Structure formats: structure tokens, C-alpha cells
Structure 1
Amino acid sequence: MAIFGSIIKSLIDLKESLTPGGEPNKDQEEVLRTLLKKAKDTAFGKHYEFEKILTSEDIRKSFAETIPYFDYNKIDREWWHKYQEGEENVTWPGKPPYFALSSGTTGKGSKRIPVTDDMLESIRKAGIKQISALSNFDLPPDFFEKEIMMLGSSTDLQNEGSHREGEISGISASNIPFWFRSYYKPGEEISKIDEWDERVQKIAENARNWDIGALSGIPSWMELMLKKVIEYNNLENIHEIWPNLQVYASGGVAFEPYEKSFEKLWGRPVQVIDTYLASEGFLAIQNRPETHAMKLILDNGVYFEFVPFKPEYINQDGSITDDAPAISLAEVREEEEYVLLISTVSGAWRYIIGDTIKFTDKEKYEIRITGRTKFFLNVVGSQLSVNKMNDAVKDLENQFDMRIPEFVVAAKRGEDGEYYHYWYLGTEDKKNEVQLAEALDSSLQEANKNYKVARSKALKGVKVNLVDPHMFHEWNAVNKKKGGQVKMEKVMNEEKFDEWEAFVKDNQERG
């Protein structure tokens, strides 16, 4: 019997049973009050008179009326750039020891998001909440003695003056507590390898030395890593080398599009647990097995607001209009889509993180990520969000018995001058593209009345092209970087889509 595992499991069960449920709306108001108090003497706090907000009768209302919306470009242009010039106490006390480079981008054009010591503590606490929630899953005691494969970006962070830079997964992994290091794989040496292909090769070579019980990482890159381990070690499935693998903590994107692909890699069922760790903070965890929805973490240094996700509130660049209404946690409704706003212990204020979410269970404060504001396709009034696209692609998988882990779509004029939605589906299965286009079009019309109206007017039809899924990974390698937090964009404008089509054509000709 796994004695040590039984002790850990008992402690987790005990902690979960003793942890009070809290009062979410009061927790959120207290988070906001704490944020304002701590930042009131910063340049941002003085400019927007946090002291005055703190004395108001309705602190939430006063906060919303005083502070404008910020996307990354706006807050960086007006405030965060000052950190790079050596200033401190800009939007949060002191100077951030880290900056997270978002989406795996590098160079001067990268988004640099401050990560404070308070945020690292918030992420640590969220991680403990995630581990505690495992008591709700039917896991045997010996699971808690197994190793965890955390597939993120490189932990070899770059020194830039008084701070260090890297992706949030690399920053988090470089700050793991000492007691966890013996469980953490691929270990510090391999994790520091910056080149993705080299890092994954080392993982494949060392895989037999590890007893992995859990995986953690973005699905697209996790799938590639597992395939490499299987190929290198001449396996039928991943459980032949990691027989005790029982949990996969997915994150960053919806797991459903990858479900069929992963089923091919498993030798037995694996419990998939969704998490929501962004460059700006650890926002939600799945804490029960009956759902893929995640519970917002409401008492941990992040204050949430929600803007209804409607076309009239969304600008072309994915930002929101100045007059868009923001509502509090108490006012949200189930199954309605919202643009997520956060204010955090890293000095982000009413910040548009770029994700859209919906509440699946308001009483439990559980959400699903439905897409990105920039991935909203509305060129000709079709009003397609990513969750509608994901659902339609899943219908294709079921209808045609195929796997489509990746896709991209754009609206542009065809040779006849009419608008079409051009879809590239990443799949290894050979199917009829015309039949897929008809089925995709039909599915979208059934699911979205705005799309159906657009199809009767400005939108002429759907075009489908099938490409190898690896094409998407290579596109990321050229334009961003492999691995880590990098996510494939689902919707492109015409200019970017022309580059994509040229890239595909060039690779197919060379291949």
C-alpha cells in the first residue's frame, strides 16, 4: 500500500473539508478594497484617486465609473512602459521582479506583462487550491506519490536590467517550492532548454526513467510531446511507458477540439481537468469531475468584471468600446457570453484579458472559456464566436468520423467578388472537402441565427481546405515560438490569412 500517498491524500481531504466556502460577492468586494488600498500611493492610484474611491458608499460603482477600460496596448502605452524606463510604484507598489512575455513571442514587439511577488503568491495559492480540489476526484492514494510532467516554456529566464523575462509557465516553474521539485518533471536541467524540439527530444529520451501520474500543459503542444515519446520509444500508446498516468491538467484553450486526438494516445481513460492560468494570473480551476467548467478563484488577488459580448461593444482590434457596460459577479447570467475584465495584484486595472467566457453554473461560479475577442468573425454580420466554431468542428468530427485538432478561418472575397468563409482544417484524415464545407455550413446555420441571416445576404458560402495538423505548429514556429503558452489563432484578417495561405502553399510544394 502507498503509505506516503495515503497520508498526502488524507491531508488533502482534510484541508478540503475544513476550508470554508466563503461568500463570493463579499470576497470580491474585499479583493477590490485590498487592491485599492495597496495601490493608492502608486502613480496610477494617485491619478485615479483611489483614496476617494475607498471612501465612497458603493466602492464597486465608484471604481467602474472612475477607471476606464484598458487593453494591453493602452495600459502599456500610458503606464507599464515606465517600468522599462526604471520607474517604480507605477501601477503597483515597487518594481515587478518578472515580466511575462505573452503567447511565446520574443523581441521588442513582445507583450511584457508585469508579474509581482504578490502575483507569484496568488499563483502559488491557486495551485494549492487545485491540488486540494483533487480530493473531489476518485484518485487512489498511490497517485499522490507519482511525478508530474509540466510542459511549459523554458525556465531559463532572460535577465533584463532589474527584472527577468519569460513566459508565465516558465516563471511559475522557476518558482516551484523546494518540496515539489522531486515530483516535477522534466526537471530543472531539461526545462531550461529553450529550443522546443530539443527539449521534447530530451523528454522522449528520459521518459522511461519517470513514473508520471499527471500531465500539465496546453493541449496542442502536449499532443506533440506525447506523440514524440510514443514514436521514440516505439510504443502503441503513452500508458505503455507511463502506466500510472491518470490526470491531465489542460489549460489555455478548450480541450474538446483535441479530445479525439488524445483518445488515440491514451491506453486507458485519463481524467482531464481544466485550468485557467493566463499571463495575467491564475483565474479559475476545475474542482469537480462532473463537468469541464472551472470555478473562478474569487478570494485570491483578482477582481472580476464582465462586459456582455455583443458586436456593438467590440472594436475591430478586439478591444471594447468606451460605452460598453460592465457588470459585477452578482449580476451575471448563465449561458450568456461576456468579455472578461480583471484587476490584479500585478497592477492590471479593468484589464481586457482578451478571453470571452460564459457561466455554466452561477451558484457554483463556474465558467467556460468560449473564445477570444479577436477571434470573433463578424465581417459580414455572421457574428461567429470561437465556441460556435468549435461546436461546428466537433459536429464534423462526429459526422465524418475524423479528428480535427486545429483550424483557422477568415472571411474574404473569392474570385467572383463574393464573400466566403475560408476554412483550413488540420487533420490527418482524407475526406471530401466539398462535403465537409456543406456540412460545416449547415451546422453553423442551425446553431447561429445571425450566421443564417448572413448566408442569405452578404455571405456566399463556405470553402474548406484540409492540411496536415503539423502545418499549424510550423506556422507558430515561424511567426511566434514553439511550445509554452503559444496558442494558434482561430480567426485571421485578410492580410494575415494571405500570409497563411502563401505559407501553406510553399510548404506543400516543398513537401
Structure 2
Amino acid sequence: MIKYLSEYFTSFFLKKRMKNIEFFMRYPVEIQSKLIHQLILYAKNTEFGKKYGFCDIKKYQQFSERIPIFRYSDLQSFIYRIRKGEKNILWPGQVKWFARSSGTTNTRSKYIPITKLSMNTCHYKAGKDMLSIYIHNHPETKIFLGKAVRLGGSYKLHKKYNTFYGDLSSILIKNMPFWVENICVPGKKIALMSEWEKKLENIVKETGHQDVRILLGVCSWLLIFLKKLLQEFNKKKIDEIWPNIEVIFHGGVSLIPYIYQYNKLFEKSINYYDIYSASEGFFAIQDQKKDKDLLLLLNHGIFYEFIPTEEINNTNPKIFPIEKVELNRNYALVISTNAGLWRYIVGDTVRFTSLSPYRILISGRTTHYINSFGEELIVENAEKALNQACMKTNSIIHEYTAGPVYMNQNNSGAHEWIIEFKKKPHDLGIFKKILDNELKYLNSDYEIKRYKNIVLGPPIIYVARNGLFYDWLKKHKKLGGQHKIPRLSNDRRYIDSILKMEKE
């Protein structure tokens, strides 16, 4: 009886949130305008606020003219002081928690401040909205009668300064509201273990006999977990273990390279809902059953601006608030947040698929692309082309990365792809040809550079052994959490590192 009452009240509470979601969908510009004024008001007496004269900023134009664009390196000295316990630097008061990035954009870790306000009004609020949208789309759902499996990272105490740092998921699990904690498995003790492989074994043991209905996590790590689960219980399908499994909320990496493998794990149809969450904030949620574009969250403590990708390396790039963006144009995402990030370049690129309401697709990274020859290849192109090559050759990709092969006196340039197949194509040459043709179709710059092999030769594909990418992540202490394989790189640091490990 208690179980059903809990389900009823949770469902009732979350259904009411749809009114809030519909409100920011209806009045996006007004809400964003109000939000930036609130952020400025909050931070006017901080060191940063005093430096840039927050007290007399009344309009967005003043904000945009007065405050420069920041990358992490520009804020690093501020954040270092905050980590040492200094107060009122970027945001009022003292910040105790810092999300350490997975390091996919550069080799050094980044420490993103997480305030109590950002936890509650951004991350947790977006989590509630994620569930509200799902209930709205699936009114007959019974997900709250069961459990939700979460895969998280771990955190550490900086003893000298009494501040904490770690994977964002570990910070959110540690501080999670009681009503969420009640439905989640495993418990915090296991969820926050630092050693990934030992944690994985414990999660399998603790969750295998539960009535699991929701999965939450990065889809690449969830896949490893589900395969381990099947192995442990000697089953062929996840439904045999969890007959009421219903939905997977996933983010971090694209589901496209993994979807075939996921579908093979389940006997029945599973709902997949994409989310766009990062250390810097929870930005967007898939709000439609079939369409995979994401609803931008406009009332969650984040003010958005957008730089056209062709402007990103300019000294004074054009930058637009949300009411000035255009459809189907790639933008670098810039945010100001209630954790003290001001006009901060996240590193992701997005394009708008709808302006009423504002919906986006993640198109790539400002640093995860290949443009060594003017081809401007982004992750979105790569994902679509690889998916087509797999479909047409009846093959399955487990992991991949790509980078440039530089020109020399005798040869044109090329792209080298390291691909670990779950199911290899019968003819790698046909796979390569399809990949090449799809990239030409998707990217006119790539097509031009491929003309007669003058600038760019055909792709080079190296078939990796099983487990190579996992071993590479393990060696670099990037197992679990939000760590992921860098898909595209404009230099050879990743592919050379992975190939070197293959030869060891």
C-alpha cells in the first residue's frame, strides 16, 4: 500500500511541473531576460561583479559589451582561489564542491564550481523535469513502482582546503534529495566507490534482484554494465532479469553508435530519452517520443548565448542571445550560471531545429572536430556516416576515434579511423567506401577536399582488437563516470596514444 501511495504522490507532484515547462516554452525571451538580471543582482558584490561593474548593468547590451568571453583557462586563477576556500569570488559565499571534468577537451582536468543553488535549481530541477516530461508522454507508466539504476563516479576531499572534487554524478548522488534517493539503486556506499571495476561487480550484485524500471547514465558505460549483468545471471535478455524495465535516460555520448547493441539486449521495445547534461549544467532534455532533438531548459539558472562556429576563433566574435539565433546553423554554446561561470564557452556546438519552442541538437565540440585540411568535419557528420556504413554492411561499431594523417611531399592528407567493431563488416573496403561517400554527402567542405584525392585521400581504417578502448581508458584512469572516448581530434595525440598501446 505504501509503495502505491508513494507512486501516486510522486507522479502527481511531477505532473504539476509540466505547467512550469510549458511556461518557459511560451515565454522564452522574457524568462531569459529576467534570469540574467537575477544572476547579475546575486553576484554584484562578488570580486568578479565589482570588477565588471555589475551594480549599474541594466540591459543585456551593457552585459555583452562589458564582460568578455571566457574559456576555462581565463577563469582558472579565480577557481583555484575558490578551491582554496576563498569566498565571494565568482559567486556569493563559499563553494565546497567542484566537478572535475573528464578531460576530453584537453589533458588537464577542469574543476567546475557547483553551488547549492546550481544543484537545486539546475541539476535536480532538470531531473524532475526529465521525469515530468516522460510521465506526460507516457501517462500509463508505472516506473515509480520500481527502482532506477544509476551509474556514477566518485569524489575526493581536498584535505588542505576542506573542499571536494570529483565526477559530477558523484556530487549529485552525495547531495541527492531523499525522495530521489528512495527510488535509486545501488545505495550511496556502492554508487560512490572509487574503483570502477569493483564498483561494477557490486552494482550487478545489488541490482540484479531488484525491480528495475529506469536506467540512468552514459550509454557507453551502461552498455558495459548490462553485458556484465547478463553474464553474471547467465541470461540472454535484460527482460529476463528486469521484466518491468521501461526507459533509459542517457547522455554524455551519442546513442547512435550503440543503438543496435542496445536493441539486441532487450526482447521488448525500450524507450530511450536523451539528455544534455555536463559538469557546467543541465542544458536540455528530449521532450518528444520519437524526435531526438532536445528542449533547451531556459529557467534553470543558466543564461545562454551563442557564437557562430565560424566566428569562434576570432578576437571579437559575434555573439547572440537566444532571440537572435537561426535554424540549422552551428553555434558554440556560451553560458552564465548560478555557479559563477560568466560568459563561459562550454566547448560544445549546437544547432537549432526549432525556434518555437527552442530545440537543439548537439552537433559536436569546438575542439572535437577535424579541420586539418579545411574540411570542418564535426561529430554529427561522423555519427551519421558511420551509422549508414553499419546499416549497409550489417556491422556494429563498439567504439571509435579519428584524427588526421598529415600531408607530406609524396602524399595527400587523410583521416585515420580506429574502429573497434562488435560485428565486423564482411568487406572492410565496402564499409570504407560507404563511410567516405556519406561524409561527402553530409559535408560539402569534406567533399571538396576529397576531389581527385588532391588535398584529402580516402579514409584509412584501422580495426582495433576487442577491448582496446576499454584498456586505454583504464590505463589513463578514465573508467566509469562521465569519461568517454574522444571521437574526433584535430591532431594525432589520441590515435597515436591508442595505436601505441595496441602495439605494446
Q: TM tier, shorter chain? A: over 0.9
Amino acid at match of 1:379: S
Kept in 2, the 8 Å contact 1:190–1:199? The answer is yes
Matches within 5 A, 1:135-146: 135-138=135-138, 140-146=140-146
Partner of 2:500: 502
Task: Give the Å deviation of 1:158.
Answer: 5.8
Partner of 1:447: 442
1:153 to 1:343, Cα distance in 2 relative to 1, 3 A: same
Kept in 2, the 8 Å contact 1:156–1:193? The answer is no
Indicate the SS of the match to 2:457.
strand
Equivalents in 1 of 2:170, 2:157: separation in Å? 7
Task: Give the Å deviation of 1:321.
Answer: 2.9
Which residue among 357, 361, 372 is the counterpart of 1:364? 357
Equivalents in 2 of 1:389, 1:462: separation in Å? 12
1:190 to 1:18, Cα distance in 2 relative to 1, 3 A: closer
Kept in 2, the 8 Å contact 1:434–1:463? The answer is no
Kept in 1, the 8 Å contact 2:83–2:163? The answer is no
Which residue among 1, 12, 25 is the counterpart of 2:29? 25
Match status 1:49 vs 2:44: no
Matches within 5 A, 1:100-499: 100-103=99-102, 109-122=108-121, 123-138=123-138, 140-154=140-154, 159=159, 161-310=161-310, 313-314=311-312, 320-413=313-406, 416-431=410-425, 432-456=427-451, 457-468=454-465, 470-492=467-489, 493-499=491-497
Equivalents in 2 of 1:231, 1:157: separation in Å? 35
Equivalents in 2 of 1:159, 1:216: separation in Å? 31
> What's the Cα RMSD here?
2.1
Kept in 2, the 8 Å contact 1:98–1:163? The answer is yes
Q: Which is further off, 156-165 or 108-117?
A: 156-165
Amino acid at match of 1:166: G
Amino acid at match of 2:431: L
Instruction: Give TM-score, length-normalised by structure 1.
Output: 0.91
Q: Which is further off, 465-474 or 380-389?
A: 465-474
Task: Give the Å deviation of 1:155.
Answer: 5.7
Kept in 1, the 8 Å contact 2:369–2:378? The answer is yes
Kept in 1, the 8 Å contact 2:293–2:360? The answer is yes
Partner of 2:14: 12
Q: Which is further off, 320-329 or 194-203?
A: 320-329
Kept in 2, the 8 Å contact 1:410–1:491? The answer is yes
Task: Give the Å deviation of 1:73.
Answer: 1.3
- Show CA shifts across 1:168-218 (max 9, x none): 110001111122222111111211211111111112223332111100000
Task: Give the Å deviation of 1:454.
Answer: 0.8
- Show CA shifts across 1:366-418 (max 9, x none): 11111111112110111111100111001111111111142111111378443
Task: Give the Å deviation of 1:160.
Answer: 5.4
Amino acid at match of 1:335: N
1:160 to 1:359, Cα distance in 2 relative to 1, 3 A: farther
1:349 to 1:14, Cα distance in 2 relative to 1, 3 A: closer
Equivalents in 2 of 1:383, 1:14: separation in Å? 44
Equivalents in 1 of 2:86, 2:211: separation in Å? 47
Indicate the SS of the match to 1:474.
helix
- Show CA shifts across 1:74-123 (max 9, x none): 2113x222223442211111121101111179xx9421111111111122
Indicate the SS of the match to 1:458.
coil
Task: Give the Å deviation of 1:286.
Answer: 1.8
Kept in 1, the 8 Å contact 2:125–2:300? The answer is yes
Amino acid at match of 1:288: Q
Task: Give the Å deviation of 1:355.
Answer: 0.6
Indicate the SS of the match to 1:99.
strand
- Among all aligned residue pairs of Structure 1 and Structure 2, give the percentage whose two residues are the same amino acid: 30
Task: Give the Å deviation of 1:495.
Answer: 3.6
Amino acid at match of 1:419: G
Kept in 2, the 8 Å contact 1:103–1:480? The answer is no
1:304 to 1:103, Cα distance in 2 relative to 1, 3 A: same
Kept in 2, the 8 Å contact 1:275–1:284? The answer is yes
Matches within 5 A, 1:33-112: 33-54=37-58, 59-77=59-77, 79-103=78-102, 109-112=108-111
1:198 to 1:501, Cα distance in 2 relative to 1, 3 A: same
- Unmatched tracts of structure 1, length 5 or more: 315-319, 507-511
Q: Which is further off, 414-423 or 381-390?
A: 414-423
Amino acid at match of 1:453: I
Task: Give the Å deviation of 1:11.
Answer: 4.1
Q: Which is further off, 252-261 or 168-177?
A: 252-261
Task: Give the Å deviation of 1:430.
Answer: 2.6
- Unmatched tracts of structure 2, length 5 or more: none
Amino acid at match of 2:116: D
